[in-house]
A and B are shown apart, each in its own frame.
Chain A
């Protein structure tokens, strides 16, 4: 069980949250201009690093706010929690090996 610190409510069990996938996936500025392949890329293709990963979480059983978490996909270490809309605070390079 992960212990995740909601930016508003503090530390809560993982079961209070819902996972929202990769963070910082920008909506295309002009979706109509995209090819089907580019649109498919935007909708479905996500990074899958072995290492730090910025992802979205929803505190669904608490304050019902979305926020972002940087979590290590191997160790589950959470190194940053920050409100939605803020830039990723860490400059870690993702471990790919």
Chain B
């Protein structure tokens, strides 16, 4: 795809932006109502339309070096599974696979940059932004809520900011990304599972909120 046709595509998408509906767009009020502040509080909200680019390449090849330079951060590995650069978070998904997550609207620019540095090296770059939406669970009780349905060890000695994992929460496959120590977790969930997961989280939260 040429730069011109990509730009034309992006303009067409921009014109349609007001027609977008996020998987949990109709639930914002319920998510807010189920949230509570305070020392035992927990909050839930949707962060819709995050840019998500799936990147696959040889982690020790020349393309990995060039991608790291273009992003301004090394590609994370299994031990330090998240790197942050500017507004982008790079999540480790597997030995040769990453997810570049950014704010709404950043996917075309990041894709263009990475496609250029990838060049003819073996690899793939796919815009998966519409695949998943993001639930953000935060607050002092967030870990306790998550532990109702997640068998990972989420204790700070084992999991914290800078860690991500693909696992299940209440049997739903998610990408779990802890963004701060409060704690705040992002749960990237496939659109068709989002409603179920949100309902399940609201139910689990009801034990921590008045």
Q: Known contacts A9-B78, A13-B151: does B94 contact A61 (CB below 8 Å)? A: no
Give B151-186 as 1s and 0s: 1 = Cβ < 8 Å from A's Cβ atoms: 110000000000001111001010000000000000
A19 at the interface (CB under 8 A from B): no
Give the total number of A-B pairs whose CB atoms are below 8 A apart: 30
Q: Are A15 and B168 in contact (CB under 8 A)?
A: yes
A65 at the interface (CB under 8 A from B): yes
A64 at the interface (CB under 8 A from B): yes
Q: Are B165 and A61 in contact (CB under 8 A)?
A: no
Across the two chains, which residue of chain B brings its CB closest to A12?
A: B167
CB < 8 Å neighbour of B167 from A8, A62, A64, A65: A62
Q: Known contacts A8-B94, A8-B95: does B78 contact A61 (CB below 8 Å)? A: no
Q: Which residues of A contact B151 (CB under 8 A)?
A: 12-13
B93 at the interface (CB under 8 A from A): yes
CB distance from B132 to the nearest CB of A (A): 14
Among A36-87, those with CB < 8 Å from B are 61-65
How far apart are the CA atoms of A85 and B119 in the complex, in Å?
A: 29
How far apart are the CA atoms of A70 and B171 in the complex, in Å?
A: 26
B97 at the interface (CB under 8 A from A): yes
CB distance from B86 to the nearest CB of A (A): 26
Q: Are A65 and B94 in contact (CB under 8 A)?
A: yes
How far apart are the CA atoms of A8 and B78 in the complex, in Å?
A: 7
CB distance from A89 to the nearest CB of B (A): 19
A16 at the interface (CB under 8 A from B): yes
Q: Which residues of B contact A8 (CB under 8 A)?
A: 78, 94-95
Among B80-115, those with CB < 8 Å from A are 93-95, 97
Of the A-B pairs whose beta carbons lie under 8 Å apart in the complex, a sample of 30, sorted by A's number, is A8-B78, A8-B94, A8-B95, A9-B78, A9-B165, A9-B166, A12-B151, A12-B152, A12-B167, A13-B151, A13-B168, A15-B168, A15-B171, A16-B167, A16-B168, A61-B166, A61-B167, A61-B168, A61-B173, A62-B165, A62-B166, A62-B167, A63-B93, A63-B94, A63-B95, A63-B97, A63-B166, A64-B94, A65-B94, A65-B95
Q: Which residues of chain B have a CB within 8 Å of any CB of chain A? A: 78, 93-95, 97, 151-152, 165-168, 171, 173
Sorted nearest first, the 7 A-B pairs with minimum C-beta distance are A63-B94, A62-B166, A61-B173, A13-B151, A61-B168, A8-B95, A8-B78
